[in-house]
A and B are shown apart, each in its own frame.
Chain A
Amino acid sequence: MTTPTATASRPLLEVRDLHVTYRQGGQAVPAVRGVDFTLAPGDTLGVAGESGCGKSTMALSLLRLHGDAAKVTGEVLFDGENLLTTSWSKLRAVRWAGASVVFQGAMSALNPVRTVLDQIVEPMVLHDRVGPKEAERRATELLDSVGIPARRIRSYPHEFSGGQRQRVMIAMALACRPDLIIADEPTTALDVMVQAQILELLGELVRESRIAVIMITHDLSLLAHTCDRLAVMYAGRIVELGPSRQVLKDPQHPYTRSLSQAFPTIGDPASRRAPAGLPGDPPRPGENDQGCAFAPRCPEAEESCRSGELLLWPTGPGRSAACRHVPPQHGGTS
């Protein structure tokens, strides 16, 4: 909160010490183990990490979308309101209009027996209390802005291709003019070309209307172009946070380094016939609490990495990392 813009407007979203613990077969499985970040209006934050690192759990827990299956502690301040303790009716209002979610599988998130128009109009009529005529006009406009022509708005989800369904999902997310969109792997199942189209579309809409975005994916290079800031998660914690281009070009945490090398730059002789990977498997949640969680797979790990607790610390302007080998540097924010 040291940047001048932050003083002008208070953060839209402030997450403090977020923990999410699942109950599984009588055991408590910690999926998210202390996550802090803030998001200003219009900010875009990318969250990257391997499957099982807690990135989706973290994002969905912000709106308490896990129900009773998970225990969520900490603070999630959305416009100053703590979503973790607020009443269900207030939370519902936030889910309708304040923050919406774009899920990964558009086919299962859409109701197969209703037209896409009906599905977009419904929240508008219910929540914004606009007349059905007005809602339909707005829905048509929205679908048009995501590239679904007016003649197709009365089609059913199965009549669309995967990319088009994901566009419909985005239109639905925008229906009640939210301040925040949480996109959980919005393009994972799609072709590269469609993926590029969707990201371009999302980027455009967000820039125009100053909607804040939290985007979750495992592909680091995609995030760098769509998000201003990047958070890399490992074993339920953020291990590196900073401006996306810097994080990608000059990663500080060894884990970020190996993630960024996993997708080669075509033309780079270093990666020709030399795929880069990271040996070993991610730790299972709750497996090991001592020291740096990445130490067992880290090429640079030392004895000191295996004990004590490791926190995210500032390592440069706007950057922070959780690695003993990166010297702390003040002037950054976390």
Chain B
Amino acid sequence: MTPIPDRSGAEARADVPAQVPAPEQTPALEARDLSVVYPGSRGRGPARAVDGVNLRIGKGEIVALIGESGCGKSTLARALVGLVRPTGGQVLSQGRPLDYSAKALKQYRRHTQLVLQDPGGALNPKQNVYDAVALGPRLHRLTEGLPERVHGALARAGLRPPEAFVGRYPHELSGGQQQRAVIAGVLALDPMVMVADEPVASLDASVRGEILKLILHLRDELGLSALVVSHDLGLAWNIADRVAVMYLGRVVEQGTVEEVLLHPKHPYTQALLSVIPNGAEDWRPTLLTGEPPDPTAIPAGCRFHPRCGRWAAASEADRAAAACDRRELPVLTPDGARAACHLLEPNTLLPETV
């Protein structure tokens, strides 16, 4: 089952320009065994939105976090910027655990920033672009040379000339310009890490590429590290160095973009890849059936097994050996295995991918 045909030739060339930073560097941002559990409400059990995640974003690295809605990716993003307090595990910034005192958090927010999905909603409709971009610097009392700072940030975010934009209000901007203004608001604080939650999901196709270009450019020019949360694997191919695929609160597959997208190991990643139209005549998506994942009712064993095609197709003997429906999977670590799947282990009879 090859999800996307005709890529053996492409991959040889695509593998070349890998710019993964050396692993011994202190990562810019790291999640260690992070979990976020929301208390239950209205007769439902507690929601384990993030349930043990290890994730590392190196300096100057772009990591894509991929998953469907309800997989916990947005909660993870908010936990990483300190907006949601984890119920377990740690967030480490430059190797130091995050301190949740009000003062330390404010300090932390100077250099770790969040970009939201809906740029129209992320800008206060009563504030013009100048005030929206100046919001961060004013909160951190960087008022000396504020106009220059704001104009510089606008120019770097691609709103040129800045003076044409400072007086405008959000509703007078196009979607792409709004997202640029949001990014300028982040840049005005000279951050080291940017966490972007679906930064292009609500934008038009043509604008999408422009915003992604900007994120790539900021990494190249300013050495910005970025975690980009998305449901779109194509986005990872477009800008990311590494990618982590999340399902029901856990990372199920991780690795460099080339590894994960060209040689996916986990059946979930394979299914996600297969539903992207590729223009081929014989394109047939692998559709997952079953109920959408629910973080208040996480299945025992491998949490993907109720929807897993590989499990469904396995022989009785393999099922007995793998025991996906009972046996817990270890939590992936950045230096460990690439995919969390019992049916990948060498003692099972199934080959990794066919």
Contact = CB atoms under 8 A, between A and B. Distances in A.
Interface in A246-293: 248-249, 258-259, 261-269, 271-279, 281-282
Interface string B329-351: 00000000000000000000000
A19 to B, nearest CB: 24
B100 interface: no
A277 B208 contact: yes
Contacts of B279: 221, 224, 245, 248-249, 265
Interface in B102-151: none
B327 interface: no
Contacts of B271: 193
Given A163-B292, A259-B206, A263-B205, A275 B216 contact: yes
Given A218-B204, A218-B205, A192 B276 contact: yes
A268 B208 contact: no
Contact of B234 (A50, A191, A249, A266): A266
A262 B276 contact: no
B353 interface: no
B68 A265 contact: no
B234 A267 contact: no
A275 B212 contact: yes
Nearest to B70: A191
A267 B209 contact: no
B352 interface: no
Contact of A267 (B176, B208, B262): B262
Contact of A258 (B206, B231, B281): B206
Contact of B205 (A262, A274, A281): A262
B10 interface: yes
Interface stretch (B39-47, B181-189, B283-291, B296-304): B283-291
Given A224-B277, A266-B273, A279 B210 contact: yes
Interface string A171-204: 0000000000000000000011111110010000
B241 to A, nearest CB: 9
A266 B237 contact: yes
27 contacts: A51-B175, A161-B292, A163-B292, A192-B275, A192-B276, A193-B68, A193-B271, A194-B292, A196-B285, A196-B287, A197-B287, A221-B276, A221-B277, A224-B277, A224-B279, A266-B273, A266-B276, A266-B278, A267-B7, A267-B11, A273-B238, A275-B210, A275-B212, A275-B239, A276-B209, A277-B209, A277-B212
The 7 closest A-B pairs by CB, nearest first: A277-B209, A267-B7, A278-B206, A277-B210, A275-B212, A196-B275, A262-B205
Interface of A: 50-51, 161, 163, 191-197, 200, 218-222, 224-225, 245, 248-249, 258-259, 261-269, 271-279, 281-282
